[in-house]
Amino acid sequence: MDNTRVFKMAFASVYPHYISKVERKGRTKEELRAIILWLTGYDERTLQQQIDREVDLETFFARAPRINPNVSKITGVICGVRVEEIEDKLMQQIRYLDKLVDELAKGKSMDKILRK
């Protein structure tokens, strides 16, 4: 499967969809940002810079200061695929984020989402 199209999507174009998804379910933008910061190691300022610069997903994850060492604890199915079995590292990171956003929208506690 060619993932190039996904990799070249701007994070800034995906981000509003994440916000509306979690807010529809009664969660907050702050919780969403906390998840993104946890996963990527960005801080509020550097995350906002990535959004403002409209970097693509490939660049967004390549520049991430530190992918959380607990990502291996993120398991389950997203879009019909087990996230722990995705071989392409970048696609796996994108799906990890999708999975965390899903968990937030489904009402999981922040402690569980952040694998505490």
Domain parsing of the chain, residue ranges: 4-111
- Cβ atoms of 105 and 21 within 8 Å: the answer is yes
- Cβ atoms of 32 and 101 within 8 Å: the answer is yes
Report domain 4-111's class. Answer: mainly alpha
**pLDDT tens digit string along 34-52?**
999 999 999 999 999 999 9
- Give this prediction's pTM: 0.94
**pLDDT tens digit string along 70-85?**
999 999 998 899 999 9
Where do the H-state alpha helices sit in 10-109? 11-24, 29-40, 44-52, 57-62, 89-105
Give how far Cα 101 sits from Cα of 2, 20, 113, Å.
Answer: 24, 11, 9
Cα-Cα-Cα-Cα torsion 86, 104, 67, 17, nearest 10 degrees, comes to: 80
